[in-house]
Amino acid sequence: MPAAKRKAELSAARVVHETSHRLRLRLGKRVGGYAHLAAQVDALSGVKSARLNASCRSLVVRHDGQAATRAAILTTIREAPPDDAGADAAADSGADLGQVVLSVGVLLASFVLPPPIAALVTTANVAGVVVRGARALTDKGLSVEVLDAIAMMLPLLRREYRTANFTRVMLDLGSYMEASTVRRSDRLLRQLLRAEPEDVWIESAGGEVISVPYTQVTEGSRIVVGTGSQIPVDGVVGDGEAYVSQAAVTGESLPVPKERGDPVLSGSMVDSGRLVVVAERVGGATTTARISRYIQQALSNPTGIQGESRRLADKRVLITLLSGLGVFALTRDWRRLESVFLVDYTCAVKFGTPIAIKAAMFRAAKEGCLVKSGLSLETVAAVDTIVFDKTGTLTHNTLEVTDIHCLSDDIDEEQLLAMIASVAEHTSHPIASAVVSLASRRHLAHMSHEEVDFIVGHGVASTVDGHVIRLGSRHYLEEHEGVSFSEVEPLLVQLMAGGRSLLLVSVDGRPIGIVGFRDRVRGEALRVLRKLRTLGVTQMMMITGDHPDKAHQLGEMLGLDRVFADQKPEDKAAIIEALKAEGRTVAYVGDGVNDGPAMMAAHVGIAMPRAADIARATADIVLLEDRLEGLAMLRGLARDTMRLIRTNFRAAVIINSGILGGAALGWLSPAVTTTLHNGTTIGILLRALASAGPESKER
């Protein structure tokens, strides 16, 4: 076939039904990647959902009804590379619910149909599996798919139609469960990757503020962003002052003051104030878009180990086949050949392993961990290095007061704290919240004051009993208000070296106090890290966007092996890749948008329960309770599960080898062989199911 014609055929898509908000398309023939194609469509602005039936090459898209959205859908499908398969190829081949229902129907029909018709229906039912087995044999040699085909062909040739159809039901049901789980996880991720807003406010050349579609924003546009709004572009502040929370992008725990000339990143939130941002990078060039693109690329080009069950099962395929052929070559006894081929090492492993993993996932959920796949559980068992994000992971998203220093003899600690809290309670800044909380716990009386003046990005000021009190950063008090703290320079240096954030206080132009803060470390953090070491994790590390002094002080407190401070979002994934290149098996634990690439780069990503939506969707595992104990529980559970799988495998090999020997020697008839083999499988399945019992094993 000419290359041009083949490309046209692969890329073709035909609308078979359409309403104002819904499209049903029949996709062209593709080498693979139907699911990834659906992912691209689902990620388009204006698309509400994209549901794929790969076996029918059908894609149903619900959208907003706009002509531009419809055109974008069709363009995306027609321009997609025909061989864009990657990680989605497995999902493409998964059975859908219709196939499961059909297989069950054929099984039930085989109980009542006359033998000739039952033979015809069963042949049609198992034909697809036989064809897949033949293709697998051609593409990758002997594998479980080959034995799946043999497992259905043998009973079909022996006219045991119910057995053949039951085997098909089991295969389809397992395939459907796996494929549907992958689709749900990927669909959530793709929806969350739509980071671009639909409309933004821009300042026109005449000074008028108007709303325009995000797609019309260009470099140089002046974007107006108010309190509570997300900054949609990377750029520089052209006007205004504000506190900007960058926690979701850089991991910094405190809102950062921004004023004219300061750079800002897309995905940051304006905590208080108003900014006019001059756009420097828009659309796909922004920070959040780069993070999203990294995640999509990682999904399309997966790395890592294969599932435990398939590896173990594939290793035994050759044993069964060679044993059967050897027996037949020596005896010419079709009965012995049939008996040997009925000894399938893979059954107990193929069905027992997923049950053991699902049982472990069920137990993990009951104890506060959502594990999205068996591969994730397997990888957790092998992890030797855990890398933590700081804010929201090893620490809470709040601050605590650690130091209160009075710089004047005419004021004591409680008076200073009461004065600060009385003024600071009018702002939602984390530093203010920490002071107000401490004053409340000490039951300090409120001090009356005049109206509070908010100096956005710097601090606050008010008048108490006729005295002007100012709270804020050193830059604000010294550079803007002329209050010098040089006499206490050694104290300031000492506090900052200890990782403290500082609030400086002045009254009537003279310094009267310094309050130090630090991130509130999780009470269980040190205990959990020690427990993880006893469970075989050899390296504990932390990556943060915080200042090195603060980061290393926390690292020493928790006994971490390495600390990476002052890191940008894109640096995190590079650090993980470097650790992997050293031969480490790495888990990453985080909670921000900026943690998405690191989670995808790690062998397994773990998100905290209050994580950003994109981090929760990207992660392989999500902790459902806001405590780190789930990590130790999960590590112990994963190791126990992998140990159970391996002991089940050894038991299956030993017992089935005995059955195989008996069948080869002619001591066991096909009926006895089947009974013993299935009995072994049932025993292993029951043992796997028992691992989901309510009792909590001590780890």
CA distance 342 to 303: 35
**Of the listed 84, 88, 271, 389, which one is catalytic?**
389
267: alpha, beta or left? (left if phi > 0; alpha if psi -120 to 50): left
Q: Count Cβ atoms below 10 Å from residue 627 Cβ, excluding itself.
A: 16
Contact indicator for 176, 97 with CB cutoff of 8 Å? yes
Q: Is 473 helix (H, G, I), strand (E, B) or coil?
A: coil
Contact indicator for 446, 465 with CB cutoff of 8 Å? no
Among 58, 377, 308, 39, which residue's Cα sits nearest to residue 183?
Answer: 39
CA distance 17 to 470: 67
Contact indicator for 155, 342 with CB cutoff of 8 Å? no
CA distance 54 to 56: 5
Q: Count Cβ atoms below 10 Å from residue 585 Cβ, excluding itself.
A: 20
Burial category of 422 from C-beta neighbours within 10 Å (exposed 0-12, middle 13-18, buried 19 and up):
buried
CA distance 657 to 524: 49
CA distance 279 to 212: 14
Is 389 an annotated catalytic residue? yes
Among 143, 92, 500, 436, which residue's Cα sits nearest to residue 310?
Answer: 143
Sign of dihedral through CA atoms 541, 546, 551, 554? negative
The strand pair at 395-406 and 510-521 is best described as antiparallel
Please state the φ and ψ torsions of residue 223, each to the nearest 5 degrees: -90, 130
The helices-and-strands tally (H runs, E runs) of the chain is 25, 24
The kind and range of the H/E element at 411 are none
CA distance 32 to 53: 13
Q: Which are the catalytic amino acids? A: 389
